Amino acid sequence: MRYRVVFIGLLALGLFLSQHIPYVGLTHQAQAQSNSVSRIVVEGNQRIEAETVRSYMQIRAGDSFSPDLIDESLQTLFQTGLFSDVRIFRRGSNLVVSVEENPIINRIAFEGNSALKNEALQKEIDLKPRVVFTRARVQADVDRIITLYRRSGQFNARVEPKIIRLPQNRIDLVFEITEGAKTVVQSISFIGNRKFSDGQLRSVIVTEQTTFWKFWSNADTYDPDRLNYDKELLRRHYLKNGYADFRVLSGTAELAPNGQDFFLTFSVEEGEQYKFGEISVNPGQTELDPQALMAEVTTFSGETYDASKVDKSIEKLTLEAGKRGFAFAQVRPKIERVANELVINLVYEMNEGPRVYIERIDIVGNVRTLDKVVRREIRLVEGDAYNRILVDRARRRITSLDYFEKVDILEQPGSSPDKVVLIFQVAEKSTGTLNFSAGYSTTEQVLGSVSISERNLLGRGYFTSLATSLSFKRQSVDFSFADPYFLDQNMSAGVNAFTIETDQQDESSFNSRETGGGFSFGFPISENARLRFSYGFTNRDIKRLGAAASAAIRVSAGVSNKSQVGVSYTYNTLDNPLAPTQGLRAALSADLAGVGGDVFFWRVSGKASYFHSITDGVVLNLKGSGGAMDGFNGKFSPVLDRFFKGGNSFRGFERAGIGPRDTAGATSNDAVGGQIFAIGTVETTFPLGLPEAFGVRGAVFTDIGTLFDAPGPAAAFGTVRDSSTLRVSAGVGVLWNSPFGPVRLDYAEAVQKHSLDKTQRIQFSAGASF
């Protein structure tokens, strides 16, 4: 009985399990199927394909519903910038992705801008037509536009983006600009300066105080980047003048309550002025001759400390070591300050340095300028030894081309530890100029000119210009073209054509016309010297001789053809080509006419100008010029090619006021020109005590010289007076760097002269470019 009951119980349990276990498995299977994504459905898309949306999803059909994967998918879709809104939700076993697409920009416009042109603003922003609109990118472009306005001195500018909706989910984007009043630098002051006045330091920095005549300049606007550059210029100025401990403690810009004026204040600590003490070279591992290396050093014991001369010495020592087989040499200055003696002992320490080679040189950012125009200034090629000095020199050479707003050099690791990739990043700027000028001078009276030039024609570095000038005494048209690297060599070549009409009735009783052209080529022979060869052909006509014209002039009347070759040598070490205070500029030329044509003469001339800063603001200028010429092959030197001096070339005398003169008749007294001349000038310029911003300086000068040796046919006439008597003049002048161009007024007295010389006490010249 007991076993029977057990058997019945087991049978009942078996029947129960057989009925319920299959249903348990089916229940789990159904639950698994209900937790998986059967399909991803995309809704709301217009331009973007559904498959594109699915490709950004982190969850796929067949995957289990996962909140983490759905969140990742949501973030990925937003990060594409294609959508303004994304929602992901479950609809049964489907996963629905509902999107709202960002519109496409149809057009971008600017309204309210006058200080900055549309083209300048368009270059600054990232958004472009046919690009997807996003609010973040619009706000970034608003910030860029405001920054651009602030750089141009308009800190009150406001920019508001507006959207005009169009069909097919397109928009027009309009930047509404309120420029506001222009903010300018009202004053620039310095705190802590004792050795240099505020005016002297203002002339060092780029930023300028606003004045009523600087309406064409942006130098009087506040620019934070320019402020940092001004700090660097101050540091260089003081280090150049011996103040090795100089520091700029702060440079602040305070905006006035009116919101239009800035007040700049530089706080400086000058320190004491040092001199160079003991100077030596430690060749180190290079084992080069120290005495031979010292010949390359430009710093000398006892001189005022000058950081720029230290840099120059480092450059020259590095190059000299490279020439002697140490391409990886590094030169570091070891400076020892002796504070109690105010001297700096300097040791140039040389080490061989790590061996690194240039694997590749890349040029980026040059849209118009060809790569080769930049590369030929680098003077390094792939495979060369890396040299920091030569890389820095390449940067300076590229910058001096004046084709680019900025030049940056990036150094990236190469394919191996001993290789480096150099990337020259450049930003191009406009290289064409249209120039108008007008002025007045006592020699040519009212004068004006128009010229158009391009420094980087076709992006190949060619220079071309077309200029015309007009005055009561002279009219000319001149065209020139030059290639600074002819045939890709370090040699310049150029051609020119011209026509000139000159009125010399008052001086020599004739008019002349010259029409011609020529070509030239030149090359550098050292860092500061250059040699140039030229050829020119000119058709000339001496005409409209006055009734009282000299017989010595009449023999030159008529048409002639001049075929001339020439060679010239120039040497230039000026610190500033426009306003030099130190250095020498010299030129020597020789010409030979008679290689064809019917004019035969030789001519040699030279000139030199030396500048020396006596004290701050006071500059001594010593100038000298001279020349000699004569005819040959039975010909005399033509009147158009002789030397005529006076006016700006010899103050105190009229144009062509000195030299041989024909005294025939009561009204002639014509200048016939001389074949030998020599003129020397001693001039000192100095500040007049006026604010530096006025740009007014004074000058005292004396000119001494002579012009003589009338050619044979002219001298044959007994009425030609020719004397080698020295002429001397002395005077004072005022120079003004005005907003309308340079102005100069000189008063000179002829202290010593010939009886027939024509004097002129006042010399005035003024001109402007606009």
For the whole model, what pTM was predicted? 0.57
Ranking 11-25, 245-259, 309-323, 476-490 by mean pLDDT, the lowest is: 11-25
Highest mean pLDDT among 17-21, 46-50, 197-201: 197-201
pLDDT digits (tens, 9 = 90+) for 290-322: 888 898 898 999 999 999 899 889 988 887 887
More confident residue, 552 or 362: 362
Contact 381, 444 (CB under 8 A): no
Mean pLDDT of the chain: 84
Ranking 61-70, 172-181, 206-215, 613-622 by mean pLDDT, the lowest is: 206-215
**Sign of CA pseudo-dihedral 240, 241, 245, 248:** negative
For residue 375, the Cα-to-chain-centroid distance in whole angstroms is 18
Ranking 108-112, 207-211, 229-233, 727-731 by mean pLDDT, the lowest is: 207-211
**Sign of CA pseudo-dihedral 710, 714, 717, 721:** negative
**DSSP H or E segment with residue 224:** helix 224-240
pLDDT score of 10: 56
Ranking 142-146, 210-214, 761-765 by mean pLDDT, the lowest is: 210-214
pLDDT score of 29: 42
pLDDT score of 606: 96
Q: 676-687 and 432-441: which strand pairing?
A: unpaired
- Residue 23: pLDDT band (50, 70, 90) is very low
- Residue 589: pLDDT band (50, 70, 90) is very high
More confident residue, 648 or 303: 303
pLDDT digits (tens, 9 = 90+) for 394-431: 888 888 788 888 888 888 888 888 888 999 998 888 78
* DSSP string over 704-722: EEEEE---HHHHHSTTEE-
pLDDT score of 573: 84
Task: Give the type of residue at 138.
Answer: V
Q: Which own/partner pairs from 443-448 qualify as long-range (CB within 8 Å, at least 24 positions apart)? A: 443/473, 443/647, 443/648, 443/655, 443/763, 443/765, 444/471, 444/472, 444/473, 444/474, 445/471, 445/472, 445/473, 446/471, 446/472, 447/471, 447/472, 447/474, 447/767
Q: Is the pLDDT of residue 712 over 90?
A: no
In this prediction, what percent of the chain has a pLDDT beyond 70? 88
The mean pLDDT of 453-480, rounded to a whole number, is: 86
* DSSP string over 284-352: GGG---HHHHHTT----TTSBP-HHHHHHHHHHHHHHHHHTT-TT-EEEEEEEEETTTTEEEEEEEEE-
pLDDT score of 717: 56
CA distances 212 to 217, 227, 586, 737, Å, are 11, 22, 39, 15
Q: Is the pLDDT of residue 446 over 60?
A: no
CA atoms within 13 A on the CB side of 588: 5
The mean pLDDT of 8-33, rounded to a whole number, is: 47
Cβ-based neighbours of 134, under 8 Å, separated by 6 or more: 81, 84, 102
Count CB atoms within 10 A of the CB of residue 412: 12
- Residue 235: pLDDT band (50, 70, 90) is very high
Task: Give the type of residue at 732.
Answer: V
Count CB atoms within 10 A of the CB of residue 640: 20
Ranking 166-180, 255-269, 572-586 by mean pLDDT, the lowest is: 572-586
Q: How many residues in the chain?
A: 770
pLDDT score of 577: 65
Helix, strand, coil content of the chain in percent (nearest 5): 20, 45, 35
- Residue 713: pLDDT band (50, 70, 90) is low
Give the single-character DSSP code of 509.
Answer: S
The mean pLDDT of 688-698, rounded to a whole number, is: 79
pLDDT digits (tens, 9 = 90+) for 324-360: 767 677 889 999 999 899 999 999 998 877 778 899 9
The mean pLDDT of 725-754, rounded to a whole number, is: 87
Q: Is the pLDDT of residue 493 over 50?
A: yes
pLDDT score of 33: 47
Measured CA to CA, the distance from residue 202 to residue 218 in angstroms comes to: 16
User: Which residue(s) pair with 756 in the sheet?
Assistant: none
- First-to-last alpha carbon distance for the chain, in angstroms, is 129
- Residue 218: pLDDT band (50, 70, 90) is low
Q: Is the pLDDT of residue 26 over 50?
A: no
pLDDT digits (tens, 9 = 90+) for 50-97: 888 888 888 888 888 888 888 888 888 888 878 878 899 888 888 999
More confident residue, 1 or 464: 464
- Residue 669: pLDDT band (50, 70, 90) is confident
